[in-house]
Amino acid sequence: MNNPADTEFIPAPTRPSLNAMIEQLIQRASGAAARSGNQIEILLDSTENFPEWEAALRSAQESICIEMYIFATDEFGRTIRQILLDKLAQGVAVVLVYDWIGSLGAHFKRFFRPLVEAGAEIRSYNPPGWFGGLGLLSRNHRKSIIVDEKVAFVSGLCISSAWNGNPAKGIAPWRDTGLKLTGPIVQDVLAAFEDTLISQGGSMPQQLRNYEEGEACQTGSATGRVLATTPANINTMRLDLNIIGLARQNLWITDAYFMPTRMYIQALINAARADVDVRVLVPRTSDIRWIGTVSRTQYRQLLEAGVRVFEWNGTMIHAKSAIIDGQWARVGSTNLNLSSWYANRELDISIEDPDTVYLLERAFLKDLENATEVILTEEQHAELQQKRAGMFKGHKALHRGQVKGMVRQVMQLSQAFDNNLSSTRLVGLSEAWAYVSIGIGMLLFGLLLWFLPQILLWPILFLLVIGGLSVTVQALIQIWRFHRGQR
């Protein structure tokens, strides 16, 4: 029998800390590594974003890369084009990817021809073609600008004067949020751009990719990661769902086109039932009206679970952001709907920096001052207010031991805002009119199909023919290449 003292001691596997497990969960869900040493600046609306874009573009010395859903032919679009032409004349490399549908007007007006003639590398994302198949449904909804591989802008804003509004017609500017990034994270934004460019048959010019991984200079203390969604993954949705599960105190969401899946709705409901302060800010009026109508049919189940829903009183709120517990936020192009999650190329920044998140919380609370809360009934609203007052006391107690006092301040600001909130709207009437609109729309569409069934038949036939030809041709080409290689 062996002496236990002579037996070699094998230590038990070290259990990872909770923080390490959370980091692993975020990285596995997002498919993106965290980058530290960045500076992240929040830019609100076109009044802050557009001047920063112009200044950065005018200062370019080596390269400009733009990935944009809408490149309009209006005043702001022409301004940006002229800056790009000036830079091309100075020898700066210009690479642009625009979405064929989003920039349809610019495409057919040959708006980009002067840039191509001046030497720019320009690609249209997913133009119609015999080999596109059902992939044509995928759009490039990203909005990013990278200058000299050192500064990047990621936002929900496009290159269009629509974001400026129209004061002459009483149309207020759109509410939107963007980020200005410097530091190592810029290389990940550039990598996402390069992936899109290559997907459309393009390639990066020689003067780009000057920096190898890890070579980029640190410019600050913020940590973040790039969420580059493609039709091949649903990283942003998966990350959002996991982060919602981690929320303990507050979950504040702003979304322009709110049509989430049942899975996402249930995640919000579960969080609210666990006494998380869940708030959703959406447009009252939208540039795509039917989406706003459908969104209102989702309100009741959220409100009954304790989720708070607010409608923006201005022209349009186009921002896409999520904020959790004063520690994490997401800002970018992804809307909470199927097309953004499953079909499009989207680009967001996961922000894991309390200082930056604090500023986003302040901006969110400021936005609620120009919003109307949708409620079930006055009585239920009063009951929820009393319940939330107790929740806030618990939140402040939790925060007392933390180094950062800013989160505690946000919760105090939030409670003060709740006490002063007076603008509310009952859900019943809005919900009823939404269903009336949907019902009438279904009846009209039914009548059209009765008298003109081709309205539905021809598009389906077109997609089936294009998809079938594309799949068949690509398979035959693959077989031919295989047999050719065997010779």
Using one digit for the tens of pLDDT, what is the confidence trace for 365-393?
999 999 999 988 766 666 666 666 655 55
DSSP secondary structure, 168-181, as one string: GGTBPPPB-EEEEE
Instruction: Give the model's confidence band at 135: pLDDT under 50 very low, under 70 low, under 90 confident, else very high.
Output: low
d(CA 260, CA 336): 5
* Cα 401–Cα 402–Cα 407 angle in degrees, nearest 5: 120
In DSSP terms, which residues pair with 181 in a beta bridge? 40, 152
Q: What single-letter amino acid sits at 376?
A: L
Count Cβ atoms within 10 A of the Cβ of residue 363 and give its class: 0-12 exposed, 13-18 middle, 19 or more buried.
Answer: middle
The helix/strand/coil state of 162 is helix
10 Å Cβ neighbour count for 200? Answer: 14
Show the tokens assigned to 263.
């899975």
Q: How far is CA 467 from CA 114, 129, 196, 460, 461, in A?
A: 34, 10, 22, 10, 10
- The DSSP code sequence of 355-396 is HHHHHHHHHHHHHHTTEEEEES-HHHHHHHHHHHHHHHHHHH
pLDDT in tens, 293-339: 677 778 889 999 999 999 999 889 999 999 999 999 999 999 999 88
Say whether pLDDT at 212 is over 70: no
What's the confidence (pLDDT) of residue 405? 46
- The first and second tokens of residue 359, run together, are 């500023």
CA atoms within 13 A on the CB side of 216: 25
Confidence of residue 429 (pLDDT cuts 50, 70, 90): low
Return d(Cα 49, Cα 57) in angstroms, integer.
Answer: 12
φ, ψ at 223 (rounded to 5°) = -110, 140
**Which of these, 84, 75, 68, 82, lies nearest to 161 by C-alpha position?**
75
Helix (H) or strand (E) holding 350: strand 346-351
* 351/30: higher pLDDT: 351
| Percentage, residues of the chain above pLDDT 70 | 79
Look up the pTM and report it. 0.83
The label of the residue with tokens 């959790």 reads 324
Whole-angstrom CA distances from 48 to 118, 124, 155, 186, 349 are 30, 28, 12, 20, 18
Q: Mean pLDDT across the chain, nearest whole number?
A: 84
pLDDT digits (tens, 9 = 90+) for 461-473: 777 777 777 778 7
Q: Tens of pLDDT along 42-76?
A: 999 999 999 999 999 999 999 999 999 999 999 99
Give the CB-side neighbour count of residue 457, counting CA atoms within 13 A. Answer: 7
> For residue 82, what is the DSSP state?
H
Give me the helix-helix angle, 18-30 and 235-246, nearest 10°: 150
pLDDT digits (tens, 9 = 90+) for 166-191: 888 888 899 999 999 999 999 999 99
pLDDT of residue 467: 73
For residues 226 and 236, give the distance between their C-alpha atoms in angstroms, rounded to a whole number: 10
* Tokens 């859903």, residue located: 69
Q: Which two tokens stand for residue 293?
A: 């109508």
Can you say whether the dihedral through the CA atoms of 424, 426, 429, 430 is positive or negative?
A: positive
What are all long-range contacts of 437-442, with beta carbons under 8 Å and residues at least 24 apart? Answer: 437/290, 437/293, 438/293, 438/294, 438/297, 441/290
